[in-house]
Amino acid sequence: MRNQLCNRKPVQRDLHRELVSGVLIICLITLLVVQPTSAQQTSPSIEQLKKEISLLESVHDDASVSSQVQAVNQKLLNDRRVQLKELVEVGLRSMKEYYFKVESALSKKERHSIEELIANLEGDLSNLKTKLSAVKPDSALVSRNFLASSNPAFASTAGLQNPPIETTNPIRSTKPAPINPLIVTPGQAGCYPNPHPALLTAVNQAAQDIVDNNNSNEVGTYSQEIVFFAAVDALAVDSALVAKGKKDFEKNINILRLSKQTEETNKQIGSTARSEGTTSAIEKPGFAELLGFAVENGAITKAVSGTTLTLSTSPYAFIVAGQDDTATVYKNNGYLSRLGISATFNIDNKDNVLTNASRKQLSEWNLRLRLSGDRSNRSEEAEAIWNSEVRAKFNGPANALTGAHNALFRTPELEAKRRAAVNKLSTIPAVDAARTDGTLSRNQKITQVATSILCTVKSEIVDKIISGEFGLSSDSQVKIIAQRQLDFNELTVKQADAIKKFDGKLTALTFKPAWTLAYTNRREEKTSDYSTIKVLFEKKIEKKLNWTANAGVSLYHKPNAMLKQKQYRDFAIAFSFEGLAGRSPFLSDPDDESQMTYAFTGSYQRLFENRSFAGKKADIGAGQFKFVLPVFTGLSIPFSVTYSNATAESRKAGVRANFGITLDTDKVFQVLKIRKERAK
């Protein structure tokens, strides 16, 4: 019905001009009303759009048609042309991607036929662009439609008044655990509602640097990403599927890594197994963690467990207290991290625990010397893995970006235009105004700065590439950008894969056996002070199984003859077999992978002075089973049952049970990070 009416030609133009105009208005209004509904049901084909455009163009070219009709007709014609442009761009992009992939496998004839198809599509696109650019824009609509055509991810939202905020993670280099948020999200900058995710990330980072350093020139650092992905947007060579696949891939990696962190159980910082307030029956050599903690927090760290306060440090912590802890300093002084020192104090004053750090409150101090090699991520071994297996693949995305610039800006004229554009990005008045506005918060400044940069990118780069003023629109340049975009996506995935393997190998480093020599000086109120020298051993058998063993002797400093003490106090050995029993069934948060852990520990101690007392036993054996049950995120209940054939004070055999509550704030933060990541 609609087409019949529209096809009826005004044969008696002179006599029935007004009547025909009326009929046309009815046709056009019908198109306006009906088209959105039908478009939702089925997308028009290229051929169908071409027919409709041809019809509308015939009205457009008809000088007898009234201006009122022309205005309505022009809008419909524009809409059809924009829709056709989108379809042609999608087809062109798909064809180019296909061609780049299979080019080497094609015969000359086959290549020629595909090149002809591409050339036809490019011709159609060029004609459409010319016609669209000749029309004065109905600003908001054209802007949205431009973006719909340049970034296919936005196509489905074209025509909506308010573009929705994209909820997927933007493209980022290889970031495993984002901490700074993406402050300006897709759709927030009305002048450029849906920029390429990599462009948006670069602009957000630039805005943060500009605000944090109070310098508008910081945007230059990200000009390569900005110019390249603006060109990708302008020339519609992005591949939504590749980008989305990569984004999902990175998001999954981020969540996987964070989940792995919540599984960590090998974190034991604090006093030795004999101190009060601990359920541990054996000491772990986990000295690296201890030092890592010390370096992170300063020269000395403190840890409170039950009724004890432990202060820890290392010579290396003092080396880096007065300078940056650089890789070079670590290379030259890292051996000092082999030695750790800690002191444990009994807590009397719980309001200010550091006041307990006095000689009077000192219960023990100890030295630990790591005998085995460095297994940290700063070790020579970690660096060797990086150099041999990761470095070459890691640089791919950067090579794609610098290579694109090198290939595109090869003439002084074009390079001058690029420099001028970068200079404009560095001298945006609105950016200067926002960054120096004392009434704005940091986030407000970043939002305004990022939005201003995006608008300038749109007007100074994207629009000028489309109009041809910037350059970069020749076939060879478009081909370079398209190919580099594919390279960038492909190499980013390879980079992420290399990083994943690298992190796996860093984990494998921790599977190597660790040997530590430990010296402990114990202060005893009722008996005599003594020292213990132990060798500690730890070996992960696999991810879920861990062997720990130690053996040592204790010596009295001043043996008390009245108590039958001699120089040697005791000899002791202990071993522990620890494992993971799976995720706790009590955890309600699906992101929390905290594991139930169990440990079987056996120990034997020969307490020499007990040989002289009838009511005591010299040979003391004990076996312990310990189970740690996470009940909420970060909150666990450790429970242990110990059987011993005697104690140091009595030869009476017995069973005792201990339990407690531990809170791991790190785990709570990790789960919060995962939630934040998922919410993106």
Partner 1 sequence: MQQISRSIYLVEAKEIVTVEVDAVKVGNFVTFSLDGASVDPSSNAPITYTFKVTVDAGLTHFGMASSHFPTSAPDDAMYQIYVSGDKGGDRFTGSDIKKPDLLWRRGIEFRRA
Name which of residues 202 to 221 contact partner 1 (CB under 8 A): 202, 204-205, 208-209, 215, 217-218, 220-221
Site for partner 1 in 600-619 (CB under 8 A): none
Site for partner 1 in 148-207 (CB under 8 A): 172-180, 182, 201-202, 204-205
Minimum gap (Å) between residue 474 Cβ and partner 1: 19
**Residues with Cβ within 8 Å of residue 484, at least 6 apart in sequence:** 228, 400, 401, 403, 404, 407
Minimum gap (Å) between residue 173 Cβ and partner 1: 5
Residue among 121, 148, 243, 499 that touches partner 1 (CB under 8 A)? 499
Kindly state the helix (H) or strand (E) to which residue 630 belongs, with its residue range.
Answer: strand 619-632
Amino acid at position 12, single letter = Q
Q: Does 223 bind partner 1 (CB under 8 A)?
A: yes
Minimum gap (Å) between residue 205 Cβ and partner 1: 4
Residue among 426, 473, 584, 624 that touches partner 1 (CB under 8 A)? 426
Q: Does 252 bind partner 1 (CB under 8 A)?
A: no
CB-nearer residue toward partner 1: 252 or 326: 326
CB-nearer residue toward partner 1: 115 or 503: 503
Residue among 2, 9, 16, 410 that touches partner 1 (CB under 8 A)? 410
Site for partner 1 in 459-478 (CB under 8 A): none
Q: Which tokens in the block code for residue 78?
A: 């524009």
Distance (Å) of CA 637 to CA 49, 595, 627: 68, 12, 8
Residue in the block written with tokens 């027919």: 51
Pattern 320-349, partner 1, x by CB under 8 A? ----xxxxx--xx-----------------
By the 10 Å C-beta count (0-12 exposed, 13-18 middle, 19+ buried), 130 is classed as exposed
CB-nearer residue toward partner 1: 177 or 545: 177
Q: Which tokens in the block code for residue 189?
A: 């900058």
* CA torsion through residues 208, 209, 212, 217, sign: negative
Q: Which tokens in the block code for residue 452?
A: 């201003």
The total of other beta-carbon atoms located within 10 Å of residue 63's CB is: 6
Q: Point out which span in 392-400, 456-464, 512-520, 524-532 binds partner 1 (CB under 8 A).
A: 392-400
Q: Does 295 bind partner 1 (CB under 8 A)?
A: yes
Kindly state the helix (H) or strand (E) to which residue 506 belongs, with its residue range.
Answer: helix 475-509
Residue among 394, 530, 537, 556 that touches partner 1 (CB under 8 A)? 394
Residue among 40, 47, 322, 412 that touches partner 1 (CB under 8 A)? 412
CB-nearer residue toward partner 1: 293 or 600: 293
Minimum gap (Å) between residue 566 Cβ and partner 1: 46
CB-nearer residue toward partner 1: 426 or 550: 426
Give the Cα-Cα-Cα angle 189, 230, 140 (nearest 5 degrees): 40
Q: Does 229 bind partner 1 (CB under 8 A)?
A: no
By rule CB under 8 A, what count of residues binds partner 1?
Answer: 73
CB-nearer residue toward partner 1: 115 or 263: 263
CB-nearer residue toward partner 1: 442 or 557: 442
- The gap from C-alpha 225 to its chain's centroid, in whole angstroms, comes to 18
The total of other beta-carbon atoms located within 10 Å of residue 98's CB is: 12
Minimum gap (Å) between residue 179 Cβ and partner 1: 3
Q: Does 528 bind partner 1 (CB under 8 A)?
A: no
Choose among 295, 395, 308, 399: nearest CA to 337.
295
SS3 586: coil
Distance, in Å, from the CA atom of 192 to the CA atom of 454, rounded to the nearest integer, reads 6
Choose among 314, 302, 294, 312: nearest CA to 347.
302
Site for partner 1 in 372-391 (CB under 8 A): 376-379, 382-383, 386, 390-391
CB-nearer residue toward partner 1: 5 or 416: 416
**Residues with Cβ within 8 Å of residue 517, at least 6 apart in sequence:** 368, 369, 371, 533, 534, 535, 536
Residue among 66, 74, 127, 261 that touches partner 1 (CB under 8 A)? 261
Choose among 511, 678, 500: nearest CA to 592.
678
CB-nearer residue toward partner 1: 75 or 680: 680
Radius of gyration of the CA atoms of the chain, in A: 36
Minimum gap (Å) between residue 291 Cβ and partner 1: 12
